[in-house]
Structure 1
């Protein structure tokens, strides 16, 4: 959901929300630079995979439906990106998708910071948190990796976006909370969460079996060969 009235120049959120979004995005970008994670993109094979995955997610985001300005339903793909590249590059990939959307006239440049935090950083952070929790607490098993990260982590990441959008829209006074809870939240959490889990789970399973090198979080020596 882009925080601008579709087809209009008027923005949905009060100005302080956009300023906070840009500040948050600037902090994230600075932290990413300091982490050194961006250096992985200097590897040609890894860069090609990153760009290809980003284009695939950009195409995925074009398949969407909306009920009101700012309330859209679509798959995110950030859980798959996180399992492929980790939190930082997955978030950066999501930001690139938002930049492309804005360049194509499907988003508002002023809302880019808020959109990036909600639609890129948040689902990537949730997916990464689930991955780290499973890695530390559960046995190293192929099906635990696929089901826990590919299905559960993806569903939770999509649901988190729905809950956060509901809270933000209600807090900003864009829509009444009772309207959001009745007309938006159940679909943005349960319906999109299930679709995200199913699609991501299938992709992660296929990559783990046929292209394990594409998943930086997957170690076939750990999850398969020692079983």
Structure 2
């Protein structure tokens, strides 16, 4: 709860709703309409180790971190209202499937901007594909570690499953980021034609 509230307060401090006056309104509404159904899938699966796609890293690329945090808040609220999970499970999903991967993706993106050249392939493969895989997997590792520290029984093959699901998330994020770069760059708040498509100096 402390982590969730800290992220929410920090996101609100940036007043990200101002970005909805432009082209980002469409992807924000689409995320609110589609992402809850993706997050509800584990409730329809057999009991056991429940892993799922996140979509948080794609939201960060599309909306920026502050607005992505607010959209994820709406997503988890819809999941709680439409599904049958208790508030604690919804909170855990909000933090470990949404906020933590989104924050890690923000940090990985900052490192790539700092140390790698501004190239479209760095953006789509680095931030969209490899960065997403790293962020989602690290979030899963942190979740499993916190679960064990809290006295929970370790799940066999849990990290293997989270590793595989992280690459599924990476594939979707990398694919959509490449499509949006080519056909709808206005839907990517983290994309800049001036930065990534500028001509090299002679």
- Normalising by the residue count of structure 1, what TM-score does the alignment of the two structures yield? 0.79
1:165 is matched with 143
Q: Is the 8 A contact 1:66 1:73 kept in 2?
A: no
Q: Which of the pair has the greater relative contact order for Cα pairs under 8 Å at 6+ separation?
A: 2
Question: Residues of 1 paired with 2:52 and 2:90: CA distance?
Answer: 17
1:49 is matched with 27
The Cα shift of 1:44 comes to 5.8
Question: Residues of 2 paired with 1:60 and 1:116: CA distance?
Answer: 13
| Residue 37 (1) aligns with residue 37 (2) | no
Pair 1:171–1:89, CA change in 2 (3 A): same
2:167 is matched with 194
Q: Secondary structure at the match of 2:197?
A: helix
Pair 1:120–1:34, CA change in 2 (3 A): same
Question: Residues of 2 paired with 1:36 and 1:124: CA distance?
Answer: 18
What does residue range 119-138 of structure 1 map to in structure 2 within 5 Å?
A: 119-138=97-116
Of the structure 1 ranges 112-121 and 71-80, higher mean CA displacement relative to structure 2 is found in 112-121
Q: Secondary structure at the match of 2:24?
A: helix
The Cα shift of 1:67 comes to 4.9
Q: Structure 2 unaligned runs (5+)?
A: none
Question: Residues of 2 paired with 1:66 and 1:207: CA distance?
Answer: 35
What does residue range 19-168 of structure 1 map to in structure 2 within 5 Å?
A: 21=1, 23-41=2-20, 43=21, 45-64=23-42, 65=45, 67-68=47-48, 71-168=49-146
2:159 is matched with 185
Question: Residues of 2 paired with 1:160 and 1:225: CA distance?
Answer: 33
Q: Is the 8 A contact 2:7 2:69 kept in 1?
A: no
The alignment's C-alpha RMSD in Å is 1.9
Pair 1:194–1:141, CA change in 2 (3 A): same
